[in-house]
Structure 1
C-alpha cells in the first residue's frame, strides 16, 4: 500500500480516546495518509453506501461496539461485492481469543490485531499493517498468519 498516494484509512471505534490515539499515531508516522473516523458500525455502513464519499483503502474495525458489533458490521460489508477488496483489520481490545480470531477470519476480515497499549507500539503496529501487500496476503489467506503481532 505504500506506493499509493494519499491512502484513505478509516477507523471505526466507539471510544473517542481510541480514535484520537489512532489518529495521532498515524500523524506521527509522517506519511501521506488521510484518516477518517466512524463511531459505530451503522455510521460506517452509511459512509460506505454514500455515493459522494470515496471508498477507503483500508478499514480498521473495532469488534466491541454498541448498536452494531464489529462482527455484524464486518458481515454486512462482506455481503456487498463493492467492498470485497477493501482490507479490513479487525481490532480487539483485550486479546486474540480463538473464537474471535476464527469468527473474524470466516466473516472475511483480512487480519486481526490486539489494540496496542503503548503509543509507540500503536505506531509500530499501524506502520506494519499499512505496509502489507494486501492483494498478495488476501490471495494467500491462512488462519495461521491472520493475527498480526509486533
Structure 2
C-alpha cells in the first residue's frame, strides 16, 4: 500500500455496521484514524466545516436518515471544494440502476456490505489498497464494484 496513514470518515446510521467496520479496520495492517457520522446532514456539516482537514476517503452508506447517500454524493460532487474527495459507497443494496447512477455521479468505488467479518476486512483492505494505488481516481465501470 502506498500510504502509511489514512484519515477516514464513515457515514452510516447503523451502529452495528459502524462497530463492525471499525473492528475490521483495526485488524487490517493499515494505520488510520476513523471518524464516524450517523446521517447525511452530519456528514455534510462535518465536510463543510473541515475543508482544510478533509479525510482521504469517505465510506458512504446510501440509506441514512435526514439526507441519504445519493443526496450527499450529489452535493459533494457539485461543491468546488469537495468534488475531488474520494467517495467509496458502502451499502447493503446492489441495485444495478443505482450503482450506475453512483458511478455517473463520480463515486470512486462501490462495496456491498458483506455479512462475514473476514470478507469485510478483505474488502476494506482491498478498497484502500486499490484506491491508493490509483491515486483515488474512479476506475473503469467494469472495476467499480469491489468484491472481497
Assess same fold via TM > 0.5: yes
* 1:70 and 2:83 aligned: no
Distance 2:136 2:15 in 1: 33
Alignment of 1:1-150 (within 5 A): 2-51=1-50, 54-94=53-93, 96-132=94-130, 133-135=133-135, 137-138=137-138, 141-150=139-148
The number of aligned residues is: 146
CA contact (8 A) 2:2 2:129 kept: no
Determine helix, strand or coil for the equivalent of 1:45: helix
Unaligned runs of 5+ in 2: none
TM-score scaled by length of structure 2: 0.91
Q: Structure 1: 5+ residue runs without aligned partners?
A: none
- Contact 1:87/1:134, CA 8 A, preserved across alignment: no
Where does structure 1 differ by over 4 angstroms across 4 or more consecutive aligned residues? none
- For 1:97 and 1:3, the matched residues in 2 are separated by 32
Tell me the CA shift for residue 137 of structure 1: 4.2
Say what the alpha-carbon RMSD is for the aligned residues: 1.6
**How far did residue 30 of structure 1 move?**
3.5
* Distance in 1 (alpha carbons) for counterparts of 2:18 and 2:57: 15
TM-score by length of 1: 0.90
